[in-house]
Structure 1
Amino acid sequence: MQRRVVWEITRHNKRLLQFRYFASDKEEYADVPKPSKRWERKPYPTPMKVLIRRAKEEKEARKANPCKILQPPDNGLLVSQLVELAHRVNRARESLLHGLSELVDEVVPVKRCRFCSEVHIGNVGHEIRTCTGPKSGFRSATHVWRRGGVEDVVHFPLSYHLHDRVGKPRVSHDERFRVERLPAILELCIQAGLDIEEYPTKRRTKPVYWIDGRIVDFEAEREETTIETSPSLPVHSYGSIVDFEVEREEITIETGPSPLGHSNGKIISCQFEGGKSLSVKTLESWFEMRLGAEMIMEKYSVKTCGYCPEVQVGPKGNKVRLCRAAKHQFRNGLHAWQEATIDDLVGPNYVWHVRDPHGPALINELKRYYGKAPAVVELCVQAGAPVPDKYRSMMRLDVVSPDRDEIDLIA
């Protein structure tokens, strides 16, 4: 990355010189987020002061007007602008899994530690001593590598399926074996309008109302019928969709700069052969799935535990007492629910970046010169896809690492 240096002389002391670095592409530096300690709570996406202020405003509004008119999706109706987007996110997820399975089996192997959750992309596992598994002290914290799979590259946490996200939004502890669990991102698409025969859900045609702290449903009871829909149907063909009162905005995730750094935002027409074209398609599906899921999460709430990776899609978290993280004794095993982020819904699983897949293994003495990237990005880059601009600084492509024979010269 080319940079230019601008020198400025301070007014108070001319002998002190200040210099500022300006990136030519005006891109901010991004690094791998530091893993939180086991006894610390995850940071809140929304500051606590903002949450307290919102709670006070809602409390005053309930006192002034006990009857509240809810907006979709809180009233049980679908958000019409997000139905087609839910189908696209699900198609991107299926395309991502299909591409990863072919890349892992035929192009780039995946290694996983036998004793911990460390993952490495490449032919030879790295020699960085970061193992935290059982008896890692006897091995000097070195990893014992074995062959990995697609589930090691991308992680989709499971969530309980809600048949009615408004009428019964919480799963009790006694129902934990009777309610099915499925990937949280798939459950998010189902609640946003995706219909799957294996996971039926209730679609309302009339909204529910909030009266004096309770949800009141005036919809007449009727036999539940399964509506067979296809992705090719237009958005207005769904009978349980209502439009917003505001002006409808067309939602698209192909506008703006491409995540791969190209000028246009459309999906690249692959003219490559073999694993390179497949890696480009897979990487595009990864960005499309994450960006679409983020847009859906702005309307459909997703909860995560503040201490463990449990995720629940819906207005409230479940009541299953299976949390074994820090301070679970004070909560009687219940999860400490808070607002989730896209990384909680789709685990990026950061791995060490390998610049030369055919070169020697990464060594522990030079680990501060190595960068990291999500496992999906690292796998696609090694298969031939271009490096996304978003992860260039995270992968430390502008850092020149010393050679093995120069380790003694490093201070």
Structure 2
Amino acid sequence: MGIEKPLEPPKNGLLVPDLIPLAYEVLDAWKVLIKGVAQLLHTIPVYGCSECSEVHVALEGHQIKDCLGPTSRDRHSLHSWVRGSIDDILVPIESYHLYDPFGRRIKHETRFEYDRIPAVVELCIQAGVDIPEYPSRRRMKPIRMIGKKVIDRGGFLEEPKPWRLGNPSSPVDFDTYRANERFPPPLSEDIPRIAQETMDAYDFVRSGVMKLMKKYTVKACGYCSEVHVGPWGHNAKFCGAFKHQWRDGKHGWQDAIVDEVFPPNCVWHVRDPRGPPLRSALKRFYGKAPAVVEVCMQAGAQVPDRYKPMMRLDIIVPESDEAKLVA
């Protein structure tokens, strides 16, 4: 029999008091980020490829031949551009909401009994944020474990019914659902201010999520994009990645990194949004930037120094005929 070892919060089911204010600040910044991106997309054009996950922020789609979609061969690897949405900028990474992260594990048969909310929001809830629609169990006594086995969790409590079950189409301010309809186009003189606020909110959310993930466990599937916020991954069998039949659809859980919870979704950096489209011949001279950063920059925000190297602002893009002479 193993030896019981004392656990520190949050491994023992208790909250980390010092991180509760940070969790509230991250959630507030997340709301500002959604609102800002939704407003900026009324003025900044965004395109997405209908055949792959490529996104481009400019007046028209680029002409770089790197599409890997099912019909890309017929288009000579050119993208098939359609008008994008906020989900192309803020990639929707959702997680199951758990009333008790240390309670009953989600099974494949019970997966529809749980709400799906943004993983960032679920992380904030488990870190101490109280949202009436998504309650969470707050323990007063720590759980006890021997190895990986829980020997005392304080019993099981009846979990509330999913909020979405009674409100299937109700929008919430921390979700991107119908965000473009909820937030009207901004005034032209307010666009630079909104862009800067959105840029600052993006940086704060990213840094805040990194700090929360150092304490609170987040799992990610090593085969697909599924993310689970909690000490253990769920048992829902819907992994459709390569050779999922061998695993009976089960996910391969491992510790997540911030890019899996809050993806940067990098896009090609366009120096002149009104200029000619980017071309494959000059691909090696172009830089990239997170989609939110690119949108905010084109709207008038100041680019933080840490993004400038990846945007390759110090590289002079030659003309097509000059590119052949570059070593």
* TM-score normalised by L of structure 2: 0.86
Higher helix share: 2
* Residue matched to 1:83: 20
- How far the C-alpha of 1:94 sits from its partner, in A, is 0.3
Q: Name which of 177, 202, 216 aligns with 2:137.
A: 202
Size of the alignment, in residue pairs? 300
8 Å Cα contact 2:37-2:86 kept in structure 1: yes
2:275 aligned partner, one-letter code: G
**Residue 315 of structure 2 is aligned to residue 396 of structure 1:** no
Q: Which runs of 5+ in 2 are unaligned?
A: 161-187
Cα deviation digits, residues 163-200 of structure 1 (max 9, x gap): 111223x3111111111111111110000011111111
Partner of 1:277: 193
Counterpart amino acid of 2:298?
Q
Amino acid at match of 2:50: R
1:285 is displaced (CA, Å) by 0.1
* 2:103–2:156 contact (8 Å) kept in structure 1: no
SS of match in other structure, 1:177: helix
**Is the aligned partner of 1:121 residue 2:57?**
yes
Q: Give the residue type in structure 2 aligned to 1:399.
A: I
Q: Secondary structure at the match of 2:18?
A: helix
1:351 aligns with 2:287: no
Deviations 1:362-392 (A, max 9, x none): 1111001101111011111111112211111
In 2: Cα distance, 1:147 partner to 1:101 partner = 14
Show the counterpart of 2:120: 185
Displacement of 1:327 in angstroms is 3.3
- 1:4-403 alignment, distance < 5 Å: 63=2, 66-106=3-43, 108-168=44-104, 170-211=105-146, 214-217=149-152, 219=154, 273-403=189-319
- CA change 1:410–1:319 in 2 (3 A) is same
CA contact (8 A) 2:218 2:255 kept: yes
**Structure 2 CA distance, aligned partners of 1:181 and 1:91?**
19
Question: 2:206 & 2:253 partners in 1: Cα distance?
Answer: 22
Q: Distance in 2 between matches of 1:138 and 1:362?
A: 21
Q: Shift of residue 224 of structure 1? A: 9.0
| Cα drift, residue 273 of structure 1 | 4.1
Q: Is the 8 A contact 2:48 2:55 kept in 1?
A: yes
Report how far residue 330 of structure 1 moved: 2.8
Structure 2 residue identity aligned to 1:188: L
Q: Distance in 1 between matches of 2:7 and 2:211?
A: 20
- Judged with a 3 Å threshold, the aligned counterparts in structure 2 of structure 1 residues 192 and 174 are, in CA distance, closer, same or farther, namely same
Letter matched to residue 161 of structure 1: H
Deviation at 1:221, TM superposition (A): 8.3
Shift of 1:220: 8.0
**1:326 shift after superposition:** 2.3
- After TM superposition, the structure 1 stretch with the greater mean CA deviation from structure 2, 338-347 or 130-139, is 130-139
SS at match of 1:303: strand
* Change over 3 Å in CA distance of 1:307–1:221 after alignment to 2: closer
In terms of Rg, which structure is larger? 1
Q: What is the root-mean-square deviation of aligned Cα atoms in Å?
A: 2.1
Structure 1 Cα separation of the partners of residues 41 and 220 of structure 2 = 30
Query: 1:328 Cα shift?
Result: 2.1
The question of whether the paired residues in 2 share the 8 Å contact of 1:158 and 1:184 is answered with yes
Amino acid at match of 1:356: D
1:220 to 1:174, Cα distance in 2 relative to 1, 3 A: closer
Contact 1:167-1:215 at 8 Å conserved across structures: no
What's the % identity of the aligned pairs?
Answer: 48
Deviation at 1:410, TM superposition (A): 5.0
Provide the rounded CA distance (Å) in 1 between the counterparts of 2:108 and 2:157. 29
Name the CA distance, whole Å, in 2 between partners of 1:407 and 1:381: 27
Tell me which residue corresponds to 2:168: none
After TM superposition, the runs of 4+ consecutive aligned structure 1 residues lying more than 6 A away are 220-225
Give the alignment's TM-score, normalised by structure 1: 0.69
CA separation of 1:184/1:223 partners in 2, compared to 1, >3 Å: closer, same or farther?
A: closer
Q: Which amino acid aligns with 2:54?
A: E
Spell out, residue by residue over 1:61-119, the C-alpha distance to the aligned partner (whole angstroms, 9 max, x if none).
Answer: x74xx22222211222111011111100000000000000111112x111111221110
Indicate if the aligned counterparts of 2:27 and 2:121 stay in contact, CA closer than 8 A: yes
Contact map agreement 1:306 1:338 (CA 8 A) in 2: yes
3-state SS in 1 of match to 2:95: strand
Give the CA deviation at 1:409: 4.2
Instruction: Work out whether residues 156 and 345 of structure 1, in 8 Å CA contact, stay in contact via their aligned partners in 2.
Output: no
Distance 1:328 1:105 in 2: 40
Deviation at 1:156, TM superposition (A): 3.1
Q: Is the 8 A contact 2:99 2:159 kept in 1?
A: no
Encode CA deviations 1:235-286: one digit per residue, 9 max, x unaligned.
Answer: xxxxxxxxxxxxxxxxxxxxxxxxxxxxxxxxxxxxx942111111100000
Q: Is the 8 A contact 1:156 1:185 kept in 2?
A: no
